[in-house]
Amino acid sequence: MTRGEPGEHQNNGGHGEDYGEREVRLRPPRNAVDGRAVGWWRTQLLITTAVPVLILAVLGALIGPARFWLLASGGAVAVLGLAATAGLPGWWFRVHRWEVTEDAVYIRTGAFWQEWRIAPMSRIQTVDTVRGPLEQTFKLATVTVTTASSKGALRIEGLDHALAAELAERLTAITRATPGDAT
């Protein structure tokens, strides 16, 4: 079925009846994460890569008969980790988007499997900001929006810490003024 512009009345397949349906078109959320998120993601990937590489290197140094296989495995993990560190954060930056309107919170995340989530304001239960040690180093924060959804909370990662605080305040004010019981 072909759809028209928002607000146009739709036809039910040529039968002449007009149902007055409104089309809602999903568009990408407008806001990108902060540019510092790329460095934050790269650092996370480097740490995630360095830990098993160091363990394999130490084990390779200590266990003579398995030295070749342990060091080869460590080398392979290092190469894959460095390739991921070089490529994925830039891609994530291009894909991750978020937006807050008076009606809902919209997020799009994922690199290979993109996920779009929309949380109506009437379904929001809590709004939290989180700043782990690495996020604090990059002056970033994550806003977590908990909803009455079995899918779980929406997380807007990689926001400037001041913007995250303002966003949490704004979401709290909007949800307080929105009718509904968030269940």
pLDDT of residue 178: 76
Query: Residue 97 belongs to what H/E stretch?
Result: strand 97-100
Cβ–Cβ under 8 Å, residues 67 and 61: yes
Q: Which of 17-26, 67-76, 92-101, 148-157 is the least confident region?
A: 17-26
Q: Please tell me which residue, 123 or 12, carries the higher pLDDT value.
A: 123
Cβ–Cβ under 8 Å, residues 115 and 108: yes
Mean pLDDT of the chain: 85
Structure tokens at 84: 């991921």
Q: Please tell me which residue, 84 or 120, carries the higher pLDDT value.
A: 84
Q: Please tell me which residue, 103 or 35, carries the higher pLDDT value.
A: 35
Greatest distance between any 2 Cα atoms in the chain: 82
Structure tokens at 20: 């007055």
At 122, is the pLDDT very low, low, confident or very high (cuts 50, 70, 90)? confident
Q: What are the residues whose beta carbons fall under 8 Å from the beta carbon of 37, sequence distance 6 or more?
A: 89, 92, 93, 96, 138, 140, 157, 158
Give 3-state DSSP helix, strand, coil % of the chain, rounded to 5.
45, 25, 30
14 has a pLDDT exceeding 50: no
Average pLDDT over residues 26-49: 93
160 has a pLDDT exceeding 90: yes
Whole-number Å distance between alpha carbons of 122 and 147? 9
Cβ–Cβ under 8 Å, residues 2 and 13: no
Whole-number Å distance between alpha carbons of 34 and 161? 10
26 burial (CB, 10 Å; 0-12 / 13-18 / 19+) is exposed
State the pTM of this model: 0.78
Q: What are the residues whose beta carbons fall under 8 Å from the beta carbon of 15, sequence distance 6 or more?
A: none
At 26, is the pLDDT very low, low, confident or very high (cuts 50, 70, 90)? low
Average pLDDT over residues 106-127: 87
pLDDT of residue 182: 58
16 has a pLDDT exceeding 60: no
Whole-number Å distance between alpha carbons of 24 and 7? 9
Whole-number Å distance between alpha carbons of 71 and 130? 37
